[in-house]
Structure 1
Amino acid sequence: MPQQVRAVVAHAKGEPVSVETIVVPDPGPGEAVVAVQACGVCHTDLHYREGGINDEFPFLLGHEAAGVVEAVGDGVSEVAPGDYVVLNWRAVCGKCRACAKGKPWYCFATHNATQKMTLPSGQELSPALGIGAFAEKTLVHAGQCTKVNPAARPQAAGLLGCGVMAGLGAAINTGQIGRGESIAVIGCGGVGDAAIAGAALAGASTIIAVDVDPTKLEWAKGFGATHTVNARDTDPVEAIKDLTGGNGADVVVDAVGRPETFTQAFYARDLAGTAVLVGVPTPEMTVELPLIEIFGRGGATKSSWYGDCLPSRDFPALIELYLQGRLPLDKFVSEEIGLDAVEEAFHRMERGEVLRSVVVL
């Protein structure tokens, strides 16, 4: 029967979130109910609260989560009650033209649970990224559940559900950084530091962190940055070239998503290098580049969707690297908090005081 649990709800644009009782229905065909153990506080959740995604209030926030499957609906075979899972927001369909081409990480028909969680009044909630995991329990499509090794701490494992995977994947999957190559990462928040950690994991020899905040540059060193550039004090394009023999980096990741940072990424890459946009711009932003420069520099400019990840492939492998001590997921966890501290965690995020606050349930 439907369950009532505590959860974080955003009712209106810009208003503080509140912890309320919500109703989680029994899972229907293809669905699963997950008991959430931990969920990271991501900037995307703040975008939802600020109306930056859409205006389908009220929102059930939270999406970087790990937990245990409690129940499944008819036709579910990929997970079973008791499975320890990381939730993902791109459950691939296996049938669209991208999946048919063998590129399911580009799936054009990802799906979520059909049923809606509600307030006790019956008002439907819009779950953030189809998940809604600032909650004791949540309803998702079974394809959004990826089984991983239960030895991994949920506070760390859940971070693969969004920001950390986006950054790691931007460097490894989209940028395809390789051993002995150079990479620059512009913006050293959670996504940027994950790109730095991914580059270190892949064996990059020169890893340049770029930011305007000295504290964030220090954090970047802890994830493997070999050099740092304070873009407030110096031209980052020239600094990156100076650190790469005058050539520019093989891969440059823009983890900010602004016209000026993308332009810097474009010009800071080597000839035939790759510029990767993983920071999310707002709809009104535009960028203008001389067409002759695009032609003459060769290489590639790419956008990275969720780090071009395939959760069923990437999550278990990355969890094993974490358990081996080769991927420092714990370093992303700045603090552990309860559901009632999410609003203040948003403010700490805005002030740049944390990489990730993690709600522990």
Structure 2
Amino acid sequence: PGTCGRGDSVAFIGCGGFGDAAIAGARLAGAAKIIAVDIDDRKLETAKKMGATHTVNSRSTDPVEAIRALTDGNGADVVIEAVGRPETYQQAFYARDLAGTVVLVGVPTPDMKLELPLLDVFGRGGSLKSSWYGDCLPSRDFPMLVDLHQQGRLDLAAFVTETIGLGDIEQAFARMHDGDVLRSVVVF
């Protein structure tokens, strides 16, 4: 979402459809370290295919400690939270470099609350932001994405797990909920 540059370290908490798209974007932007964090090893394998240089299963490993260890103790320059839960946002906050950026792209429910010591927010500096639809401007970004695809630098087919008919939508939602697919595309 417009915050990753060449040589940066970037961590992604949540490797579903958006997380993997952002991982591919970080690779294209020239990030040096791309750290994928998820609780599902299948999603972490997909993240590697999309360009992750490191993976962390947060079911068995503390993601904050792992991200810090992979960034020489500093934390990542950019941490993208693609889950939308207070716990994972807090992990993102503490896993970023002091001057780094946390980007919230996971959509929380209206009842969710975040509790952070205000002194930590002040003392850690950096930037906290949210991103709607990757801050995309279709008239500018879609032609660029098409060009990248035509150049062979962006494999759009990698984002499609399956093509389905209209009658398969309920089963596709069930597979998505179970983490079995990255993206189902309805074909008419």
Q: Provide TM-score, normalisation by structure 2.
A: 0.99
Tell me which amino acid in the other structure corresponds to 1:225: A
Aligned residue runs from structure 1 range 292-307, under 5 A = 292-307=119-134
2:45 match: 218
Percentage of pairs with the same residue: 71
1:358 match: 185
- Structure 2, unpaired ranges of 5+: none
2:21 match: 194
1:159 match: none
Displacement after TM superposition at 1:224 (Å): 0.2
Matched, 1:271 2:98: yes
Q: Secondary structure at the match of 1:228?
A: strand
Which of the pair is proportionally richer in helix? 2
Tell me which amino acid in the other structure corresponds to 1:292: L
Aligned residues: 188
CA deviation profile, 1:306-354 (whole Å, cap 9, x unmatched): 1111110001111110111111211011011111111110001011000
The 1-side partners of 2:47 and 2:155 are apart by 12
1:248 match: 75
1:311 match: 138
Runs in 1 of length 4+ with deviation above 4 angstroms?
Answer: none
The 1-side partners of 2:98 and 2:50 are apart by 27
Aligned residue runs from structure 1 range 275-294, under 5 A = 275-294=102-121
The 1-side partners of 2:12 and 2:41 are apart by 15
Q: Secondary structure at the match of 1:302?
A: strand
Displacement after TM superposition at 1:297 (Å): 0.8
- Structure 1, unpaired ranges of 5+: 1-169
CA RMSD, aligned part only? 0.6
Tell me which amino acid in the other structure corresponds to 2:79: V
Displacement after TM superposition at 1:210 (Å): 0.1
The 1-side partners of 2:28 and 2:69 are apart by 24
Q: Secondary structure at the match of 1:270?
A: strand
CA deviation profile, 1:161-218 (whole Å, cap 9, x unmatched): xxxxxxxxx2xx2xx1000110000000111001100100000010000001011000
The 1-side partners of 2:17 and 2:133 are apart by 14
Tell me which amino acid in the other structure corresponds to 1:266: F
Aligned residue runs from structure 1 range 118-129, under 5 A = none
Q: Secondary structure at the match of 2:64?
A: helix
The 1-side partners of 2:22 and 2:90 are apart by 19
Which of the pair is proportionally richer in strand? 1
The 2-side partners of 1:205 and 1:330 are apart by 24
